[in-house]
Amino acid sequence: MNITFERATPADAETLRDVEVASFHSDALAYPGVEPGGPPGYDQVETVLRKLSESDYYKIVADGQIIGGITVYDYGEGHFHLDLLYIDPAYHSLGIGTQAMHFIEQTYPAKLWTLDTPTYATRNQHFYEKFGYIKMRERPEDDDITLIEYEKHV
């Protein structure tokens, strides 16, 4: 399987939205008691289009098919924020997330990386901690979700 990371375009928005929905909804299967859902607007094409205009949005492509997405925000002075990293559940556990992390960390001249993930998403926590991300704090969100904020100093 050939995996590439390419800049997403508005023409990719619907497919990216569909893959993002499938990815976030898979959490409901992985974590008992978690309802299907995701970050605000995760299921709207308009949100994908907005993020395309305000962040660096990449599509993860396997053999010509979009199977995931990455959004990175540049906060300046070497601080980058990994906003989204999602992969179609049919492609989980194949090392694609690891390839994605290597891609972003090699692409950006970061001094500091930040990201957040829900407290229930223990699989995500293990994944990010494997790459040297350190849990800094927990932050309650409006929708009864608590996020763990992570940092990695480079």
Per the structure, the count of domains in the chain is 1
Q: Please give the helix or strand (H or E) that residue 87 lies within, else none.
A: strand 79-87
For 64-77, the pLDDT digits (tens) are: 999 999 999 999 99
Q: Please give the helix or strand (H or E) that residue 71 lies within, else none.
A: strand 65-76
Q: pTM to 2 decimals? A: 0.94
Buried/exposed 10-39: b ≥16 CB within 10 Å, e otherwise:
eebbebbbebbbbbbbbbeeeeeeeeebbb
Say what the pLDDT of residue 121 is.
93
CATH of the domain at 20: 3.40.630.30
Say what the pLDDT of residue 33 is.
82
For 104-141, the pLDDT digits (tens) are: 999 999 999 999 999 999 999 999 999 999 999 999 98
Range of the domain at 91: 3-153
Say what the pLDDT of residue 28 is.
82
Say what the pLDDT of residue 62 is.
97
For the beta carbon of residue 70, count every other beta carbon within 10 angstroms: 23
Confidence of residue 6 (pLDDT cuts 50, 70, 90): very high
